[in-house]
Amino acid sequence: MKKGLLITLLFLLLWSILTIFAITWETRYDWPDNVYIDYGFPLVWSTQTLSTIIGAVNLWIVDITALITNIIFWLGIMLIITSVMLYFFNKK
């Protein structure tokens, strides 16, 4: 039982770190007249525009619905996997 609990806690820690990386994942696009960064994986929840054809800008567009969907996605998978792990570790 203790080994299963330790493995489950280690999984929860690693999955939480993976979730933070997925939420803060950035993809930079450098085009001649448009430079911007998209944040989030699998859904883009924020875009920061750095440069346009008229010059430098610092424009943020945030989609709260996509952010909440990302969090529900990652934490939902964590809940399912943790439940399965605990079920099999506690099976007698």
Ranges 23-27, 32-36, 52-56, 88-92: which has the least confidence: 88-92
| Total-model pTM | 0.82
pLDDT tens sequence across 30-53:
988 899 999 999 999 999 999 999
Residue listed under structure tokens 């203790």: 2
Angle value at C-alpha 72, between 69 and 77, nearest 5 degrees: 130
CA–CA distance, 12 with 85 (Å, rounded to integer): 11
Q: Name the residue ranges covered by the structural domains of the chain.
A: 2-89
Q: What single-letter DSSP state applies at residue 30?
A: E
What is the average pLDDT score of the chain? 92
- Which pLDDT belongs to residue 1? 57
CA–CA distance, 6 with 66 (Å, rounded to integer): 33
pLDDT tens sequence across 51-67:
999 988 999 999 999 99
